[in-house]
Each structure stands twice: as structure tokens, then as C-alpha cells.
Amino acid sequence: MEIKGKDFLRLFDYNNESLNNLLDLAKRLKQETKTGQTHHILQNKTLVMIFAKPSLRTRVSFEVGTQQLGGNAVVLKQDEINLGTRETIADTARVLSRYADGVMIRTFDHNDVVEFAKYSDIPVINALTDLCHPCQVLSDLLTIKEKFGKLEKLKLAYIGDGNNMANSLIAGCSIMGMDISIACPDGYEPDETFIWTGKDVSINSGSKIEITTDPFEAVNGANIVYTDVWASMGQEKEAEKRKKIFAKYQINEKLIKKAADNAIVLHCLPAHRGEEITEDIFEKNAKIIFEQAENRLHAQKAIMASIM
């Protein structure tokens, strides 16, 4: 699959081979950066970064990543750009296509990113929408591959809200031949289209997708146990209600006992200790969780180097 010039909106737009190529490049760029090698892959290129939601990891890792590849980044916050309200998304896309070489967007409605990409002449990267977070999951796959030396046949259990992270994990796992078991309360399941597309992709990749309400069933024998906040950005008003609904979906000592012996715990961060994960389990896995955060940098450099 040729990906130069291609948007990075959903992992399902990529196949096993192209994701493996991105992971190999990320691994190489990580090693080379750590041994002091400088890169000029994005020399004279500019990434515009649009944020309608807060960010720590995405903002810094994309900006630093662009610099590490010899390029420039311009950051636009929502109060500066007002995506979709000050002027049409189509006009914004056509203007930025004249100035920059790539655009990264974090916003609420996934359709806004799709609309932007439709009118943009330069590649568009989804840096989180309410629907999915593909950059995070590419980084997670890199972290898992570094730890286990492979992806195929591993089992990932995702415990909590069937949100953007759950959706992208379904995509990443099904494409890469990993089993994924998701435990969430009734009514908080992942997006149906992602589940069905994942099942379709699994016919070839051999992965298993399971959705349950029982966290113990999901974690049983898992190599990777993954969680995310119970109330995502934009759902702050539901936080108290969700704390009650999700109470039995906490990653704690008792739940972790059901996982495989060498299981790791991953969290995309930010974490709410005492809610989706206990302080104790978080700290026991802190080394790999912060490696996972670091890998945002290397995975996104691989994306930019390949598509911009």
C-alpha cells in the first residue's frame, strides 16, 4: 500500500503491511534519535496542529517530533481558529493546503476531520476525535511489540468505557492479528461500525473480538490489560454518574490476578488514580506506561515521515 500523501484518520484505512512498516520505521527512528543521529526528513516542511480539546502528550510529541525530523510546527488553539464556525471547514482546509505540508487535528466530531480531509490537498492526521485515536494505538502497538517481540496471537483486554480508545484498539488488534476482549457496562459499548469492521478484518488476520460486561472474563489470560478514563474530554458533566456505573470496571490487584503471568498494564493517559486504575497497579506498571507515552513521539514521527 502506497501511503505518501494519504490521510491518517482511522487505522482501518491501513492494512497489516502498512502498519508494520510504520512500526518498523518508528523503531528505527527511536533508535537513531537515541544514538544522536539527526534527521532531515521534514526539512522545509510545516505541520499545522489544530486543537479544539486539551492535550499534553499529543501537543508536545507532535511538536517535538516535527522538530526532530527537521521540520516546523504551527499550533492553533480553538479560540484562534474556531474550526467550522469562523469559516467553513472546506475553506480552512483549502487555505492551510497553500501554507503547510500536513495538518494534525484534535476535535470532537470525527465528521469534521473527514470533511477537512475531503477538501485538503495535504495529508490530515487524526490526533483524537470522539470516535477514535489512531495515533495513540499505533504507539501502543509499538510498545507491545517492544515488550513481547510480536503482536500476533497476544490477547489485549480493554476494561472501561467503549470510547475512542476502545474503537481504535479494536481496529489495531484486528488488523494485527491480536485478540481483543472488551469489558464495559451495558450501554457503553464501542462503536458498532468498528466492531463489525473489526470482525470483518479478523476473518483474514485470525484475531478474536469479544465484548462482555464482565471484566474478569475479559482479563482472563490477557497479556495486555488496558484502560482509559471513564469520562472523556467533553463528558466532564457525566463524571459523577459514570463513577457509579463504572465502579466494577477498575483495574486493581484482584482483577489483574486473572491476567497472564507476564501481563502488562497500559494506559493512554491522563490517568485518574482510584477510578479506572488503582494507585498501586498504576505505579507497578509506571515504567511501561511512560514508555508508552514516549512512543507517541516515535510512532507519530513515522506517520509524518511516511505521509507528508
* Residues annotated catalytic, as ranges: 106, 133, 136, 228, 268, 296
In whole angstroms, how far apart are CA 295 and each of 18, 31, 67, 79, 147?
Answer: 18, 12, 16, 29, 12
Q: Rounded CA gap, 29 and 68, in Å?
A: 10
Residue nearer to ligand NVA on the CB measure, 163 or 292: 163
The item of ligand CP, ligand NVA, none sharing an interface with residue 11, based on CB under 5 to 8 Å by kind, is none
* Shortest CB 221 distance to ligand NVA, Å: 26
Pick from 9, 124, 154, 229: which binds ligand NVA (CB under 6 A)? 229
- Is 136 a residue that touches ligand CP (CB under 6 A)? yes
DSSP for 94-127 reads: HHHHHH-SEEEEE-S-HHHHHHHHHH-SS-EEE-
Q: Which residues are paired to 179 by β-bridges?
A: 155
* Shortest CB 233 distance to ligand NVA, Å: 4
Residue nearer to ligand NVA on the CB measure, 5 or 270: 270
* Shortest CB 228 distance to ligand NVA, Å: 5
- Is 141 a residue that touches ligand CP (CB under 6 A)? no
Q: Rounded CA gap, 28 and 37, in Å?
A: 11
- Is 45 a residue that touches ligand CP (CB under 6 A)? no
- Is 163 a residue that touches ligand NVA (CB under 6 A)? yes
Q: Rounded CA gap, 234 and 224, in Å?
A: 27
In whole angstroms, how far apart are CA 72 and each of 38, 68, 140?
Answer: 15, 9, 25
The item of ligand NVA, ligand CP, none sharing an interface with residue 74, based on CB under 5 to 8 Å by kind, is none
Residues 54-73 that bind ligand CP (CB under 6 A): 55-58
Q: Rounded CA gap, 217 and 47, in Å?
A: 43
The item of ligand NVA, ligand CP, none sharing an interface with residue 56, based on CB under 5 to 8 Å by kind, is ligand CP
- Contacts with ligand CP by CB under 6 A lie at 55-58, 128, 136, 268-269
